[in-house]
Amino acid sequence: MIYFDDLEVGAETYFGSCEVTREEVIGFARRFDPQPFHLSAEAAAKTHFGRIAASGWHTCAMTMGVIARFVVGQEQAGLGSPGIDELRWLKPVYPGDTLHVHGKILETRPSRSKPDIGSFRTETTVTNQDGEKVMTFTSIVLMRRRPAGG
């Protein structure tokens, strides 16, 4: 089990990748972000996107899936997140792209009121198959501390 006490500021992690499919882009958009440039090639062609583009929220969801699968596989003592800061969609994400998710720990902070947990801030960077940044954000993550005697 990986605990808060095992984390180091500056440590970098490659969480993995995710392929973006046209079917998922359209399915997500139909349900959660039904703007024409996410749903129709004809409508998207008339915008700066030029073709169907994934919703930024879909990019967030795909990124979370990559991170969550990694964390579960590593058996981390995570306790969720109270939020994210500085979310930026830098480039469109298109069907056929492959997203790569990287994280870097910026700071760690033991809780003053709950000595069994700590929090850390991490900078997440998502790139496409060409190494271009498509999304960045900073998140705060809660994590259990190593039990006494553990």
Domain boundaries of the chain, sorted by first residue: 4-144
Q: Which parts of the chain register pLDDT below 50?
A: none
Instruction: Write the pLDDT tens digit of every residue in 84-113.
Output: 999 999 999 999 999 999 999 999 999 999
What pLDDT is attached to residue 76?
87
What pLDDT is attached to residue 150?
61
CB atoms within 10 A of CB 36: 13
What pLDDT is attached to residue 121?
97
Residues pairing with 77 in the sheet: none
CATH 3.40.50.300 fits 4-144, yes or no: no
Measured CA to CA, the distance from residue 103 to residue 15 in angstroms comes to: 7
Residue 73: what are its φ and ψ, rounded to 5°? -65, -25
Measured CA to CA, the distance from residue 21 to residue 50 in angstroms comes to: 17
0.85 surpassed by pTM: yes
Six-digit token string for 73: 């596989």
Give the DSSP H/E element, type plus range, for residue 67.
Answer: helix 56-74
